[in-house]
Amino acid sequence: MAGHSHGRRGDPPPAPEPLPVAVADAHTHLYIAAPDDPAGALAAARAVGVDRVVEVGCDVPSSRAAVALAEAYPGVLAAVAVHPNDAPDLPDLPAALAEIDALAARPRVRAVGETGLDRFRTGDAGRAAQEESFRAHIAIAKRHGKPLMIHDRDAHDDIFRVLESEGAPDTVVFHCFSGDATMARHCADRGWYASFAGNVTFKNAAELRAAAAVLPAELLLVETDAPYLTPMPYRGRPNAPYLVPLTVRALAEVRGVAVDELCGALSANAGRVFGTW
């Protein structure tokens, strides 16, 4: 989740050309992007070759909603967490974490996240609570044998420090990967996945594209983070899972591979991380 601002200007972009091989949106927020019509959003995504999504909660209510959506729709799996920017503001963080722990046991929950650290929106006063929450989510992921889905904003070194001190779960996904090629190699050396969102298409994202170019194909995922980070040429307009093909085609160009080849890898990776939908 890119931030807390839900407003997006303009009409939804037109549907892109369908992908030749279906892929998964590895991180979306339909409770914000399509609160009144999740079925319509899922149908629009399927029509362009995005046949599966991971619905991600950012607090206890949205995590409950993610589980309910995943239990209602076969093309949806859930991830549950307290977002790092929310952790310092909760009146009872341990109670919220206990609720996330209980939700993580549900069979349609396939990841714990998004959790991590955010040095952009949370200042010094909130850092201890953020780190406490992150460490607790790592423990929850390991306890339930679920992948850990990481939110990392301006916090690369601290994220690595905490993962190394706690011991990372078997599967780690850096949602909306925000590092450079050096960080991508660091993650690849540890077998950690990088999920790329629409910001990889932005003009000023040369370092992000360099990271996408060097990451091993078997560690690559794609996501929308909808309604945020709408790919070019529609930056600033509302995002939704049906726009994944724009990011996939940009990634294929960056990596110098055919779109169908990349789709096959992305689909296989999503299945390896999240299991069957």
Annotated binding site: 27, 29, 114, 151, 175, 225
Q: State the DSSP string of 143-205.
A: HHT--EEEEEES-HHHHHHHHHHH---S-EEETT----HHHHHHHHHTT-EEEE-GGGGSTT-
Nearest to 169 by CA among 195, 197, 191: 191
Distance CA 101, CA 220 (A): 27
CB-CB contact of 111 with 149 (8 Å): yes
Produce one character per residue of 211-225: b if its CB has 16 or more CB atoms within 10 Å, e if not: bbeebeeebbbbbbb
For residue 85, give Cα distances in angstroms to 2, 119, 165, 273: 11, 9, 22, 25
Binding-site annotation: residue ranges for a divalent metal cation? 27, 29, 114, 151, 175, 225
Distance CA 42, CA 100 (A): 25
What DSSP element (H or E) covers 76?
A: strand 76-80
